[in-house]
Amino acid sequence: MKKILLILFLTFFCKFYSQEYIIGKVISEQNIQVANVLVINVKTDEKTYTDQDGNFIISAKNGDVIRFVKQKFDRVSYNIQAEDFKKSLVINLMKSSIEIQEIELKNKITGNLREDAKRVEAKQKSKLNGDVNNFILEKTDINILKPSKGEFVQPKGEGFSIGKVIDKWDIIDYSNNILYILGNDYFEQLGLRKEEIAPFINVVIQNMDTKTARKYGYLRSNDIAKFQELAEEKIKTFKKLK
């Protein structure tokens, strides 16, 4: 009986230590270690992540394909070869390129480099903020949220309360972001001096529902449109008070 147990133990021991592993490091194009990269053996669906220094270890066999995935980086797939078990791999990730749409300038160039640069910057900020808001409002494809094979699935239940959720913005943040998106030029076109802009913004937003924006910490395109509509109504009254 003891001989049988010894044979079984040795068989298990040999199988366990015959498992081969790939060891390596993931770096960026600037030769910086990249942490929290998802490392997947495509054949076995085994997953792991790189540590804070970009290091990883994952079991594999000759011919397996290891894939490296991280947000804002291009995916990389690597075919395992026999010699890879004798060395440490170095995987390079390249940052994904983002195309920025060209912005058409409707205002005439004044020739003053500083003033023209401000106009371009204000238009770029407004366009970018609108694109981000539209992206946030888009519905997520339900298939993206489904767990893939082997991933942990959270059991369903009633859950529990963790207390009141604190708003990400206060009213000052809301006011500052209105100014950031519209730019000084917008308010100057309404006939306001620089020192009058902040008080005027506060007058306008008193007539707006700011709860949603302050809760989640971003302005939607309809928030900006509502502000501009009220600003056109309030500007005459504001000037009379001044």
pLDDT tens readout for residues 143-192: 545 555 655 555 555 544 445 557 888 888 899 999 989 999 999 998 89
Domains located in the chain, CATH noted: 2-93 (2.60.40.10), 99-135+165-242 (no CATH)
Q: What percent of the chain is modeled with pLDDT above 90?
A: 37
Spatial contact of 175 and 202, defined as CB atoms under 8 Å apart: yes
Residues 6+ apart with CB under 8 A from 120: 103, 105
The DSSP secondary-structure symbol of 76 reads: E
- Alpha-carbon gap, residue 28 to 14, rounded angstroms: 38
Buried b (16+ CB within 10 A) or exposed e, 184-219: eebbeebebeeebbbebbebbbeeeebeebbeeebb
Higher pLDDT, 126 or 194: 194
* Bridge partner residues of 21 (DSSP): 59
Q: How sure is the predictor about 10, in pLDDT bands with cuts at 50, 70 and 90? A: very low
The mean predicted confidence, pLDDT, of the chain is 77
Per-residue pLDDT at 15 exceeds 50 = no
How far is 55 from 156, CA to CA, in rounded Å?
Answer: 34
